[in-house]
Chains A and B, each alone.
Chain A
Amino acid sequence: MTTTQQVEPAARVTSLRRKDLLGIEEMSADEITLVLDTAEAMKEIGSRTIKKVPALRGKTVVNLFFEPSTRTRTSFEIAEKRLSADTLNIAIGTSSVVKGETLVDTALTLEAMAPDMIVLRHQSSGAGHLLSRICKSAIINAGDGTHEHPTQALLDAFTIRERKGRLAGLKVAIIGDLVHSRVLRSNLHLLTKMGAETWVCAPPTLVPPEMRRFGVVVTNVVEEAVRDADVVMLLRIQLERMEGAYFSSLREYSTVFGMTEERLRLAKPDVIIMHPGPMNRGVEISSEVADGPYSVILDQVSNGVAVRMAVLYLLAGGADHEEAA
C-alpha cells in the first residue's frame, strides 16, 4: 500500500483509501500524516464562534458503545456535530450483552436503517473487524477489547507533533499496564511507523511477550525509561480487567513505577506528560505531575475532537470514492 505512494515522492495521499478505521496496524505512515494534517484544519474550526461546518450534512452516524465511556463517546459526538452529521447514541450495558450473536444482530438491525458510519466500542477484540465484514456502513473502532484504539493513538500523535513539531527521533516512554492496554498497541504501531524511539516499562508480570515484535525497548526499571525522554506516557492500571495478581499492591506499584516529580527530573527539560485517561491519581501518576506544567493531558482531550473530525471527514469521502471507482 505504501509503495504505490512512493513512486512519486512529491505526491502525498489525499484520502484514506479504506472503508473503515479498525486499527493503526493497517495504516501507512502517509495516511497517518494525512489524518494529522487534516486535524490541524479541524482544530481551527473549534476555535471559531460558530463551531460547525456543513461537511457531513445529511450523513447519519451511530455511536454504538458496549462499554462505558465518557471521553471517547462525547468526543466523537462533538466531532460529529461540528461536522453537521446526524448522530444517535446507543449505549448497551455490558451485562445485557451475549457476545458475538447479539453484536451481529444489533449491527444488522442498525444497518437496516442505513447509517453512513458506526462508531463501535466493544469489550471483545476484533469486534470492529466482525462488523466491517457484515456492514455496508463505515466502521470506526473506538476501542475493541485489548486490541486497538486507533483514534486515541492518533490524538496522542497529534498532541506530540503539536508540542515537538515531529514524531521521528523522539524518545517516547510508555509506562503502565502493557498487557490490557489497547491504547498501547495502537500507539506502538503508530510510533514505530512514524520513526519514534519507543520504550515500554512495567513490572515483568505486565509485559506481554509480543512486545519484542514491535521492536521497542522493554525495561522493568522506570528510571531507564524516563531518562532523557521527550515524551512520558502513563497508562492506567486497569483494575477491572485484572483477573490475577499482577503485583502485590497498588501501593507497591505506585512506589516503584508511579510517576513523580523526582523521577521526571531524569527526562529532558521540555518533556511532556501524557495520559489517555481516566487517571488513577496516586497510582500510575502523582497529582503534582498530572496537574504540573509538563502535563498535556487536557490538550489530549481537546485535540481528540479535532482528530476524530478528521477521521470522520476522511472516511466519509473515502467510502463514496470506493463506490465511484
Chain B
Amino acid sequence: MPIVMDADRIGRTLTRIAHEIVERNKGVEDIALVGVRRRGVPIAKRLARLIKEIAHHDVPTGALDITMYRDDVTRHALGLQPLVRRTEVSFSIDDRKILLVDDVLYTGRTTRAALDALIDFGRPKAIQLVVLVDRGHRELPIRADYVGKNIPTAPTDVVHVRVQEIDERDEVELVSGGAA
C-alpha cells in the first residue's frame, strides 16, 4: 500500500505550516492551537514547538474531544461507539485566534462538530483550520486554511495518518478500494 508521506515529508510540511501560521497572522501573540482528538493533538503540540522556534513565543495548546458533538453519536452504522476522552482547554479562548488542528479533512463533519464544541467554550476572535491531509469529498461547506498535502482519493479509500506519539512512527498511508 502506498505511503504518501513519510516522516521527513511530514516534518518539512509541519515546518512550512508553522511558517505560514506566523506569516499570515502577523505574529503569534493572540493565537492558540487546539487539536482534535486523537491525532490532531500531537500535531498541534508539534506545531506549537515549531512556532516557538520561529517566533520565540509560547503558544498555548489544547485538546478537543468532539465525540459528544458528532451528528452520528447515537447512530452506529459504522461500528462501535467511539470512546469519549477528555477535553482539555485550560486557557480562555475569548478574543483569541484559534487554530483548529486535525489530521485528515474529509466530509467536514468532524470539523463541524469541532466548531460547535469550541464555541461552547467562548467567543474566539477567529477560527482557522489546519489539516495535515485534505482528501476531498466534502459534505459540508468547510475548507481548510492550512493544508499539509492534498491527496485525491476515492470515497472507498482509507487514509491512515500515523504519528510518533500514538503509533510509534510518522507516516500517511493510502489504502485503496475498500480494503479496510
Q: Which residues of A contact B (CB under 8 A)?
A: 12, 14-15, 34, 37-38, 40-42, 44-45, 48-50, 52-56, 59, 83, 310, 313-314, 316-318, 320-321, 324
Contacts and interface: CB of A to CB of B under 8 A. Distances in A.
A55 B83 CA distance: 13
Contact of B87 (A41, A54, A56): A41
Interface of B: 65, 67-69, 73-77, 80-88, 116-117, 120-122
Nearest to B77: A324
Contact of B73 (A14, A37, A40, A55): A55
A52 B81 contact: no
27 contacts: A14-B80, A14-B81, A14-B83, A15-B76, A15-B81, A38-B83, A38-B84, A41-B84, A41-B85, A41-B86, A41-B87, A42-B84, A44-B87, A48-B120, A48-B121, A53-B69, A53-B117, A55-B68, A83-B68, A313-B84, A316-B74, A317-B73, A317-B81, A320-B74, A320-B75, A321-B76, A324-B76
Contacts of A34: 83
Given A38-B84, A324-B76, 12 more contacts: A12-B83, A14-B81, A38-B83, A40-B86, A44-B87, A48-B120, A50-B120, A52-B120, A55-B69, A55-B74, A316-B74, A321-B81
Given A14-B80, A48-B120, A52-B120, A41 B65 contact: yes
Nearest to B92: A49
A160 B121 CA distance: 30
Contacts of A54: 68-69, 116
Across the A-B interface, give the 10 residue pairs with the lowest CB-CB distance, nearest first: A15-B81, A317-B81, A53-B68, A55-B68, A41-B84, A14-B80, A50-B120, A321-B76, A41-B86, A38-B84
Nearest to A316: B74
Given A41-B65, A44-B86, A54-B68, A318 B121 contact: no
B60 to A, nearest CB: 17
Given A50-B120, A53-B68, A318 B86 contact: no
Contacts of A56: 74
Contacts of A42: 84
Max chain B C-beta neighbours (<10 A), residue from A14, A41, A59, A310: A41
B120 A317 contact: no
Contacts of A15: 76, 80-81
A36 B65 CA distance: 17
Nearest to B119: A50
Contacts of B73: 55, 317
A49 B82 CA distance: 25
A56 B84 CA distance: 14
A318 B82 CA distance: 11
Contacts of B116: 54
Contacts of B120: 48, 50, 52-53
B70 to A, nearest CB: 8
B91 to A, nearest CB: 13
A186 to B, nearest CB: 23
A14 B74 contact: no
Given A50-B120, A52-B120, A313 B80 contact: no
